[in-house]
Structure 1
Amino acid sequence: MAPRASLPETLAARMVEAMRAGELAPGERIIEASLAARFGVSRGPLREALKALEGEGLVERRPGRSPRVAQVSPEQAAQMVVMRATLEGMAARLLAARATPTQLKELEAQHARILTAAKAGRVAEWRDADWHFHELVCRASGNEFLLRAWLSMSHLVRLFLHRHPAFEGGAFEAAGEGVLLNHDHLLAALRAGDPDRAEAEFRRVILDSGFRRLGLTPPAGIPA
């Protein structure tokens, strides 16, 4: 049985959801008294939660000023795309060399959830399911340090994706089909058990989709 989350951990998770929902907007000043009253807690555990979110880059704090919800610039987002492509490419390489039928079935089931949500037009749901697909790959890689690195920036990446205009829009034809086609390629590479192909395919998909939606060109020296 998984250990029960502490109050600060629970508060941190609730604040992340509020950020993703737009209830706490990027750059917004965080008033501790108001937030404590909103969640019905004292300021002690709230401060611990804010400190944890600060460590994840989700909260920014300057000397003598109230903390604020982090803002991610397009340049920072581009850097995160490169890091994500690198980490997931390696995760795919490791997984392709050791994937079990059970692991592949789990990924295929997650792909089916994305398809169902996308066809129904449930945009937030299929985007969350898509992100979970990539998290499953990192978890199945068997490398705990790779997973930690991926998770350390995951909330920040997702907040940017949810709030950036280039990643919005609910049409399945405009967004969902591209995601599903990408997943077909990613799953095929993993099923083939070819580490080189799996790493290259994951890296290609993440770099292409990330930089295309940002309207930027990948920096020189990044392999396609």
Structure 2
Amino acid sequence: MAGSNVEAVVNIVTEAVRTGRLAPGTRLVEADYTQGLGYSRSTVREAFQRLISSGLLAFERHRGVSVCKLTRKQATDVYCVRATLEGLATRLATPYAQENPERFVQLQARLDEAVAAADLSLFSKLNTEFHSQIALAADNDYLLQAIKRFETSIYWLQFRVLVGQNAVFTTNDDHQLIVKAMISGDQIGAEAAMVQHILKAGDLVQALDDDYFQVSH
């Protein structure tokens, strides 16, 4: 039960960050989760520690725990590494996609419908599913763990881009290229398309106002 409670707090905080209810730099108060939600102090502390380890939260002396706020360089570095990891995942997943094209074709059709309806919320959800499906199809547990680590650390950036800029819909062109290459068995082309897709998302993040980034020292 204790383990499931820790996981519950982790999920609550993660979802709050992902959806923007906890903004970058926001301080987390332990009592909000013990008194407000009824979890024990040890459960909340362990959950916070997990999220600090994952990169979603940060700890500072005299300030406590807060939602991580990246510098512009850190954001660039994250997207550079993420592009490499997801590019590799796409290459490894291509043989599976070639043998099971319907899963990816159907998901792409749903993405296309979300764009046509200008539904940012649905597009965001399907975009996450798109990347998760490819990472799972790569069938490499170590790679999957690494991808999830970077995905968690930039939840707030992804949310801000998706709700603030319709330009994100242009990234669906990349999805189409990726799926086309994967189901045709073009591993190199699929990998290259994914790398460019992630780097494009990074460019959108860099277009955000300075307020969303930590000041470099």
**What are the within-5 Å matches in structure 2 for residues 1-224 of structure 1?**
6-102=4-100, 104-163=101-160, 167-169=162-164, 171=166, 174-176=167-169, 178-211=170-203, 213-215=205-207
Instruction: Specify every segment of 5 or more residues in structure 2 that has no aligned partner in the other structure, as ranges.
Output: 209-217
Q: Aligned partners of 2:206, 2:130: CA distance in 1, in Å?
A: 22
Secondary structure at the aligned position of 1:205 is classed as helix
Q: TM-score normalized by structure 1? A: 0.82
- Maintained 8 Å contact 2:171/2:200: no
Asked if 2 retains the 8 angstrom alpha-carbon contact of 1:108 and 1:187, the reply is yes
Cα separation, partners in 2 of 1:38 and 1:108, compared to 1, 3 Å:
farther
Summarize deviations over 1:152-192 as a string: whole Å, max 9, x none: 121222221213xx554364xx432x132111111111012
Amino-acid identity (%)? 30
Q: Provide the C-alpha distance between the structure 2 equivalents of 1:111 and 1:187, rounded to a whole number of angstroms.
A: 8
> Partners in 2 of 1:121 and 1:58 — Cα distance?
29
Cα separation, 2, equivalents of 1:9 and 1:212:
31
* Deviation of 1:98 (Å): 4.2
Structure 1 pair 65–169 and aligned structure 2 pair: CA distance change class (3 A):
closer
The alpha carbon displacement at 1:27 in A equals: 0.9
User: C-alpha separation between the residues in 2 aligned to 1:180 and 1:45?
Assistant: 40
1:212 Cα shift?
5.2
Q: Which has the higher helix share?
A: 2
> CA offset at residue 196 of structure 1?
1.5
Q: Partners of 1:116 and 1:40 in 2: how far apart?
A: 41
- Pairwise CA distance, 1:193: 0.6
Unaligned 5+ runs, structure 1: 217-224
Query: C-alpha deviations, 1:119-168, integer Å up to 9, x for none?
Result: 333312211211220111111011111111001121222221213xx554
For normalisation by structure 2, the TM-score amounts to 0.85
Q: With a CA cutoff of 8 Å and minimum separation of 6, indicate the structure with the bigger relative contact order.
A: 2
Is the 8 Å Cα contact of residues 123 and 170 (structure 1) preserved in structure 2?
Answer: no
**Count of aligned pairs:** 206
Is 1:121–1:170's contact at 8 Å kept on the other side of the alignment? no
Tell me, yes or no, if the aligned pair for 1:115 and 1:180 is still in contact at 8 Å. Answer: yes
Alignment partners' CA distance in 1, 2:125 and 2:72 = 21
Contact 1:167 1:213 in 2 (8 A): no
